Structure 1
């Protein structure tokens, strides 16, 4: 459990199902992530509720007995929010809220709420607003009474202050207006990408909260916002970077996540275009996370969906500083775990046998940075030479920090 000492955190409970397609172990992983999402949005998780069902109940997602158990718990413990791990249908939301008389959120609504908090630029706010309206439209019948009773808090950072007066026609008009606005901005951003000349473009990709922004800051010596919360970065950041004497453009992008709302994928199309149009991808992985292999698969799946999976790539396994390695005595029979394997032993694992160049680093304390920078230099140079075959003699690698 994440510790919350701030009295302003809303008290919430989590609800999820164990089904034939989702084991108890997998649900626990999703719950851990959902709790981190809740923490990022401003909620303190008080309890987790699980139920085994062949499939979700079409009326209330969970069974009537479990719904009654949750209802009694939230009344006894003054819980204001119930968060479901999967997206709920409009009718399920309406029925659950009527039954429990508290704020009901699903994973999609929670992620949209975090995006609403994190959006800094006009472009990001427009993208989030569009996604929120697309989520809101089929749920209008439920939102009338919902918004009359609830004021503020997580899940309530709506696209405007007058939802209660809106109707489907107004929202559809707003969606059309936002889409037109995004088309104009997308066209401008596409022109900007073309105007960056023929410099090699490198994009940082990876699961949310794996350290992409910290790595961006370390490589580019800039101050991109980085925080130990999910989706700390929404706005795409592009910096000119020089390694050795070889310049290239480095882009930090929004993190991926399992069960990413389809509304956000559509709204953040231009952000994903930065990945799609990059010459080289740096796939950053949090090696200290227990589910890092699942995270790799989720990112690869998203890259496949946007047709960016065949690009040159470097695998960067980050956060090796999270491992406290102590050499064991010869007579120590304690099984080796991820917590007592050295970096050299990690290099002998399947990760180093990837078809992509692979490096193990700590972006926080810049451990193993010379090896990573040389690897990036080599891959960027290959692309540069293919583009400018007569300019390769101009470049020779040297590490300024090592020389200093």
Structure 2
């Protein structure tokens, strides 16, 4: 339930807009808008109100129906709203029509995610990746914007005979995209060399939906200081640390979190970051077990892993945040037992269907350091097997 918040000088006021259709019922639509609200909060906006409408397909010009759009327009004007955020990607014509109607800033989910990435990119490499994704998103939407990008290039001598402002801007953006791609190709080669220089150590990659606790787990495993906070996309750059379990060294990498409807521009521009997943020997798929929709999160991550040919790798399902888990309907009910106490033991977790996923599942709390030894044992078992195949003549005590 969204609570009306007073205006502050720093944060913008936003309304969230989504649809209900045959693919997403009201419950799922509410779940998606919860995530959109979290995205908006991460970007620096307070979500004031939500609007949804039942539609088989979005309206080609205004996304929602005329009556609902007029209702939103009236609310935006009366409540001094700064930005309207749509949960789905809008077409260039929809963006243009909606902005003219609302007379405020209009963002879709893709634009919002790109904005968060831009704000959180710290290294030159991450900033270049985000800039490329932003320009690729912007290019087909130039018709709705009044830009003067030629000033960045000096203006004089850049405009052809009879060339319109839009054509000039489009050409400048295409040039920028070309330059950024060349820059990324150069960095990609450097990063590939760095990966090659790491030797033949077994490589383990942390993957998972955004904000599931990968960076916290990285800190626990590697005794490192990777940024970990309750914000979406806290990690954009891949972090690699050497970890030793028992007498066995391996490389552990923390990667950018996945999300439902991850913009295609970001998937492409963050290709090298995802290469850490593609080239890993083992995947630790971290899941926030306390999230009500964790199964869809698993599916979203598996889909992206499949797109980069990583689905055949040995994978350990790491169900994190067991300390925050709330089970409303246990699979086995014993009326003589206290359910709250019963369903927070590791033995009970081992009896759930989740424990049988691919034969490799561990239940932990990285924050509370619960059951971390079991995770280390699972990693050790798989990594030692790969290490033995790679170095058959080395005498490690397994």
Task: Give yes or no for TM over 0.5.
Answer: yes
**C-alpha deviation, 1:135, in angstroms:** 0.4
Give unpaired runs (5+ residues) of structure 1. 149-159, 397-404
Q: Name the counterpart of 1:84.
A: 86
Would you say the 8 A contact 1:324–1:339 is kept in 2?
A: no
Would you say the 8 A contact 2:342–2:348 is kept in 1?
A: no
Which residue of the other structure, out of 95, 98, 106, is the alignment partner of 1:96?
A: 98
Would you say the 8 A contact 1:10–1:44 is kept in 2?
A: yes
TM-score w.r.t. length of structure 1: 0.89
TM-score w.r.t. length of structure 2: 0.90
**C-alpha deviation, 1:332, in angstroms:** 6.4
Would you say the 8 A contact 2:218–2:224 is kept in 1?
A: yes
Matched residue SS, 2:146: helix
Matched residue SS, 1:188: helix
Aligned-partner Cα distance in 2 for 1:264–1:245: 38
**C-alpha deviation, 1:343, in angstroms:** 3.3
Alignment of 1:365 with 2:368, yes or no, is yes
Which residue of the other structure, out of 339, 344, 347, is the alignment partner of 1:344?
A: 347
Aligned-partner Cα distance in 1 for 2:90–2:340: 38
RMSD: 2.7
Matched residue SS, 1:167: helix
Matched residue SS, 2:291: coil
Aligned-partner Cα distance in 1 for 2:295–2:192: 33
Q: Name the counterpart of 1:298.
A: 300
Matched residue SS, 2:33: helix
Which residue of the other structure, out of 217, 222, 225, is the alignment partner of 2:224?
A: 222
Would you say the 8 A contact 2:2–2:49 is kept in 1?
A: no
Matched residue SS, 1:367: coil
Aligned-partner Cα distance in 2 for 1:364–1:320: 10
Aligned-partner Cα distance in 2 for 1:218–1:81: 39
Q: Name the counterpart of 1:273.
A: 275
Would you say the 8 A contact 1:320–1:343 is kept in 2?
A: no
**C-alpha deviation, 1:19, in angstroms:** 1.5
Would you say the 8 A contact 1:315–1:356 is kept in 2?
A: no
Moved over 6 A (4+): 2-6
Matched residue SS, 1:354: helix
Q: Name the counterpart of 1:46.
A: 48
1:1-400 alignment, distance < 5 Å:
1=1, 7=8, 8-144=10-146, 167-323=169-325, 340=343, 342-391=345-394, 393-396=395-398
Aligned-partner Cα distance in 1 for 2:106–2:50: 15
Give unpaired runs (5+ residues) of structure 2. 155-164
**C-alpha deviation, 1:333, in angstroms:** 9.6
Equivalences, count = 381
Q: Give the direction of change, closer, same or farther, for the CA distance of 1:339–1:107 in structure 2 (3 Å limit).
A: farther
